[in-house]
């Protein structure tokens, strides 16, 4: 019924009374019932009858102008929804009942969305693979034995499998960008502050590393979700408004053909990335050149050691602060990754932070010099193809052992550290039928420009036509 309809088409049909909100909801609930058992994307769900009653109530409202009128969504299990547990995938929080919604959840509800449940996450949100001891791993929709990446893998797999029309995520170290690459969909990390968050518990002696983000099969589908949840909020001091909507973001043919993209590849050999990933990305870039885009195959002189050292200092300090705010008493009950970050973070002093800020400033200057000549940076959206979902994290790339649990996520830190909006675009599959994506990185607050590019990219390549074969 809705298999091949865009979000815009579904909304038009609802508004024209050609389909009911109840019918839309039931369609997605039935897909969840049929396919979620193999994917494990949605881990908590509201009572079906209560959801249907909510849909019927919305159907009784005449001429609703709300942007998400009746569309269902499940929230990543790191964010709060009153009436649903927020477990973080951690047994110690399995009975955690929030007293208020996360800020963007309030906006979703205000804009007509129906919150149906929660999507799976990495335990405590730490690590690039969606698995935890409370609910287990989420499967890759193209191979159920493989990882969906993380930590927002539940959201990405739900969207790719058609269990949801779109989904939210959070992104610190690629948690929206990596899962999108592993699912052949679009994943977006906005400029921090574009989607407001309650940061009252955070210590502002470090940069903002984490931001809510989004997933959808197409950029146009995603714009409905983004337009509903972005903008300034009095609680979030760094939140801001843009001067237009994402639905209206567009390029003319001439503007598109005048774009200049610099391909950073493996950072001049400093990033360990599977060669076939680089090959797939470069093939897509060469194809884009046929559309008159200028692609520069640059060997960047970026200080990747400074990037890494600054990032890991701030990340460990942030996770240490998060752990304290959650009130976890038994630190040893956490995962290896979370304990590693906690122990590193508790030893970080003001001198360490001062050095990290200096390193960040230097890296920012280096990247801005590139942006003086180019519109976007491009990097792979993963350093290896989907791996066995039964392991916690990969230990090798190209037969080279990794020195930390998260070195395989290094490709994400340039955006996260330097507060650059980034979207993962699908770029193809390997010989085993596993998908890959590429990061398109814009200047700070150039989010609309990023989406104008992504929309035309999807028009050219129609990536949303490639879907997983589910039983």
The token duo for 182 is 């592993």
Stated length of the chain: 471
Closest CA to 312 of 337, 271, 341: 341
Burial 73-100, CB ≥16 within 10 A → b, else e? bbbbbbbbbeebbbbbbbebbeeeeeee
**352: pLDDT strictly greater than 70:** yes
Would residue 190 be called left, alpha or beta, if left means φ above 0 and alpha means ψ between -120 and 50 degrees?
A: beta
- pLDDT at residue number 94: 97
Residue 202 has pLDDT above 80, yes or no: no
CATH for 7-465? 3.90.1300.10
Q: Where are the domains of the chain?
A: 7-465
Task: Kindly report the number of other CB atoms within 10 A of residue 403's CB atom.
Answer: 7
Alpha-carbon Rg for the chain, nearest whole angstrom, is: 21
Share of the chain above pLDDT 70, in %: 99
Give 53-105 pLDDT, tens digit per residue.
Answer: 999 999 998 767 899 999 999 999 999 999 999 999 999 999 999 999 999 99
The answer to whether residues 108 and 166 touch, using CB atoms and an 8 Å cutoff, is no
The first and second tokens of residue 75, run together, are: 């929230």
Query: H-type helices in 90-139, by residue range?
Result: 103-110
Residue 101 to residues 187, 197, 198, 234, 276, Cα–Cα distance (Å): 23, 11, 10, 15, 43
The residue with tokens 């050609």 is 18
Name which of 409, 417, 366, 351 is nearest 208 in CA terms: 417
Question: The pTM is what?
Answer: 0.98
- For residues 142 and 284, what is the distance between their CA atoms, to the nearest angstrom? 21
């Amino acid at each position: 019924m809705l298999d091949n309809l865009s979000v815009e088409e579904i909304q038009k049909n609802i508004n024209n009374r050609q389909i009911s909100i109840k019918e839309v909801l039931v369609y997605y609930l039935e897909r969840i019932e049929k396919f979620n058992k193999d994917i494990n994307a949605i881990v908590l769900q509201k009572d079906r009858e209560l959801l249907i009653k909510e849909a019927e109530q919305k159907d009784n409202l005449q001429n609703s102008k709300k942007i998400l009128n009746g569309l269902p969504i499940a929230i990543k299990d790191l964010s709060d929804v009153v009436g649903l547990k927020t477990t973080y995938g951690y047994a110690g929080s399995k009975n955690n009942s929030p007293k208020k919604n996360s800020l963007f959840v309030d906006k979703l509800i205000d804009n007509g969305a129906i919150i149906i449940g929660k999507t799976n996450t990495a335990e405590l949100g730490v690590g690039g693979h969606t698995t935890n001891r409370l609910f287990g791993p989420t499967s890759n929709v193209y191979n159920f034995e493989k990882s969906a990446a993380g930590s927002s893998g539940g959201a990405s797999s739900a969207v790719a499998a058609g269990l949801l029309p779109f989904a939210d995520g959070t992104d610190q170290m690629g948690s929206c960008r990596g899962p999108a690459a592993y699912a052949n969909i679009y994943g977006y990390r906005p400029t921090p502050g574009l989607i407001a968050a309650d940061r009252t518990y955070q210590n502002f002696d470090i940069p903002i590393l984490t931001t809510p983000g989004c997933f959808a099969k197409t950029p146009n589908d995603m714009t409905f979700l983004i337009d509903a949840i972005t903008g300034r909020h009095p609680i979030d001091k760094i939140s801001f408004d843009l001067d237009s909507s994402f639905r209206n973001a567009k390029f003319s043919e001439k503007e598109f053909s005048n774009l200049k993209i610099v391909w950073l590849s493996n950072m001049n050999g400093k990033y360990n990335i599977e060669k076939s990933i680089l090959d797939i990305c470069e093939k897509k870039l060469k194809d884009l050149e046929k559309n008159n885009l200028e692609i520069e195959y640059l060997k960047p002189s970026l200080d990747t050691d400074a990037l890494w050292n600054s990032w890991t200092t701030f990340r460990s300090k942030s996770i240490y602060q998060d752990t304290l705010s959650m009130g976890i008493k038994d630190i040893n009950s956490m995962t290896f990754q979370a304990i590693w970050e906690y122990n590193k973070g508790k030893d970080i002093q003001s001198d360490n932070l001062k050095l990290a800020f200096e390193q960040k400033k230097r890296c920012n200057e280096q990247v801005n010099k590139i942006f003086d000549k180019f519109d976007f940076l491009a990097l792979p959206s993963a350093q290896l193809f989907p791996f066995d979902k039964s392991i916690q994290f990969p230990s090798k790339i190209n037969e080279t052992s990794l020195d930390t649990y998260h070195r395989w996520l290094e490709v994400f830190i340039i955006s996260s550290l330097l507060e650059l909006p980034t979207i993962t675009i699908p770029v193809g599959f390997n010989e085993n039928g596993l998908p890959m994506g590429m990061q398109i990185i814009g200047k700070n607050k150039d989010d609309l420009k990023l989406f104008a590019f992504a929309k035309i990219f999807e028009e050219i390549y129609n990536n949303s036509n490639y879907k997983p074969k589910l039983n």
